[in-house]
Amino acid sequence: MGIEAVRRGLPAIVSLSLVVLMTAAPRPALSAGPDVLKAMIERAKKEPNTVNGSQTRVLLATPALIRKANQMFNKRFGLNKTISIVEGTDNNFTSQMMAALDLGGKPKLAFYTTNGGDMPSFVSGNYAAKIKDWEALLTEINPRVKSGAIKPGDISRPGYTGYAFAHSNRLKGVGYNKSLVALKDLPRSYAEMADPKYKGQYAIEPWTSHWKALGALYWPNRLEEALRIYDAIGKNTYVVARSHQLIPRMAQGEVKFMTLNAEVVAKFLAKNPGAPLDFYFMRDLTLVETTMMFTARSGPAPATGALWVMYLSHPDIQALRGPDAPNVMYGELKTDKYMQERLKGKNVWDWKMNEQTTKYWQWINSKAAKSFNGKLKKAIRQRR
């Protein structure tokens, strides 16, 4: 056969080949993500219509917002659930959950709230349930993840990947009265607060979480130095009280500055525009405590709980957050961008479980650190 004959026959050969290939090729499988989500929704439909769980009111600050989120949740998944948020302290709920599982019982709540610093104990202790196919589910549930704008790991963080989902933060900073003191005259590290020149000028909260985090900079060989700093800070302190009690007093000029959650200042200014307050973050360490939500092992309504804790990352739900609930991991609100900008250049520390923080977390929560923790608390509070 000549070359021209071959050329004339080529279109027919190609067409025949395509028909053979199309006939022989297997039919494309359905996308795993939609299939996994559909299966989870079907399981949820078989669970009770009223689902109880704990959730910080910082994320959804009012019952009205919780009801709105509940309606959006039902519409998105074709469900008819009443999400009931049980009032109480997060630590009490998780303690009850752990006790129930330790005794061979079952947790009472479908989902729980905690902070990033406590989450590793629920993972390592086999209390939290890892959600199967969580990345595929999250991709279907959150359009920003599906588009690639947000990574699954921004929502379910290292150390608790697939177990817990991050929704907002508390940012440990320093608030101050601009009418009483200039930023240049304030301590720029926690260690500088120990300087006697600041005695009686500031207030602190009773919580020890950020002081414990600060200990990571001194562990394992400089812990005595850390305790001396804590003791000096405690002795310099004018008063120890909670931020909601302290911030009006600072606005009125009773103290120049105070340690607090930075978003508390943002909330106060939103309600009291013109108040002479601002905040900043320390240079040595800025603790970012992340609000996590998870489902417990053997918990009730596990499918509904899994859908709920992941759906709270949806941009429509995230848009319901107030000024006192920033999200510096993947938040896109104006308030999030503002906080992200102010954190630039700071030593942000969020109990993210890299090798070093894992070792420190294990130590600070062990019997070996009991003496250190006791001395830390005594130093900061000075028996107040």
CATH number at residue 175: 3.40.190.10
In this prediction, residue 8 carries a pLDDT of 38
H-state helical runs in 46-118: 63-77, 90-102
Rounded CA separation 307/305 (Å): 5
Phi, psi of 225 (to 5 degrees): -65, -40
pLDDT one digit per residue (tens) for the chain, 384 residues: 443 333 334 333 333 333 333 334 443 333 588 999 999 999 999 999 999 999 877 678 788 999 999 999 999 999 999 999 998 778 899 999 999 999 999 999 999 999 888 898 899 999 999 999 999 999 999 999 999 999 999 999 888 999 999 999 999 999 999 999 999 999 999 999 999 999 999 999 988 989 999 999 999 999 999 999 999 999 999 999 988 899 999 999 999 999 999 999 988 998 999 999 999 999 999 999 999 999 999 999 999 999 999 999 999 999 998 778 899 999 999 989 999 999 999 999 887 667 788 889 889 999 999 999 999 999 999 976
- For residue 57, the one-letter residue type is R
8 Å CB contact between 236 and 202? yes
313 and 209 in one domain?
no
Expressed as residue numbers, the domain containing 212 is: 170-288+345-381
Helical packing angle, 334-342 and 262-271, nearest 10°: 130
User: Would you tell me how many other CB atoms lie within 10 Å of the CB of residue 270?
Assistant: 12
272 and 368 in one domain?
yes
181 and 52 in one domain?
no
Rounded CA separation 41/172 (Å): 38
Instruction: Identify whether 20 is part of a domain.
Output: no
Instruction: Identify whether 5 is part of a domain.
Output: no
Rounded CA separation 196/115 (Å): 33
Instruction: Identify whether 23 is part of a domain.
Output: no
Instruction: Identify whether 24 is part of a domain.
Output: no
Place of tokens 């910080």: 56
Instruction: Identify whether 25 is part of a domain.
Output: no
284 and 183 in one domain?
yes
52 and 161 in one domain?
yes
In this prediction, residue 353 carries a pLDDT of 63
Q: How many domains does the chain have?
A: 2
Locate 48 and state its tokens: 């009770």
8 Å CB contact between 202 and 237? yes
351 and 224 in one domain?
yes
Rounded CA separation 233/227 (Å): 10
103 and 83 in one domain?
yes
User: Would you tell me how many other CB atoms lie within 10 Å of the CB of residue 238?
Assistant: 18
Nearest partner of 112 among 125, 97, 99, judged by Cα: 97
pTM (2 decimals)? 0.84
323 and 185 in one domain?
no
40 and 110 in one domain?
yes
Note the Cα 97 to chain centre separation in Å. 20
H-state helical runs in the chain: 3-24, 32-45, 63-77, 90-102, 119-124, 134-141, 143-146, 152-155, 209-214, 223-236, 243-251, 262-271, 302-311, 315-318, 334-342, 355-364, 370-381
Nearest partner of 280 among 384, 192, 157, 376, judged by Cα: 192
In this prediction, residue 15 carries a pLDDT of 37
Nearest partner of 173 among 319, 16, 83, 285, judged by Cα: 285
Instruction: Identify whether 7 is part of a domain.
Output: no
222 and 362 in one domain?
yes
182 and 214 in one domain?
yes
**How many CA atoms does the CB half-sphere of 162 hold within 13 Å?**
8
Instruction: Identify whether 15 is part of a domain.
Output: no
- For residue 165, the one-letter residue type is F
8 Å CB contact between 53 and 111? yes
Peptide bond into 11 cis (omega under 30): no
338 and 257 in one domain?
no
Instruction: Identify whether 210 is part of a domain.
Output: yes
Rounded CA separation 311/60 (Å): 13
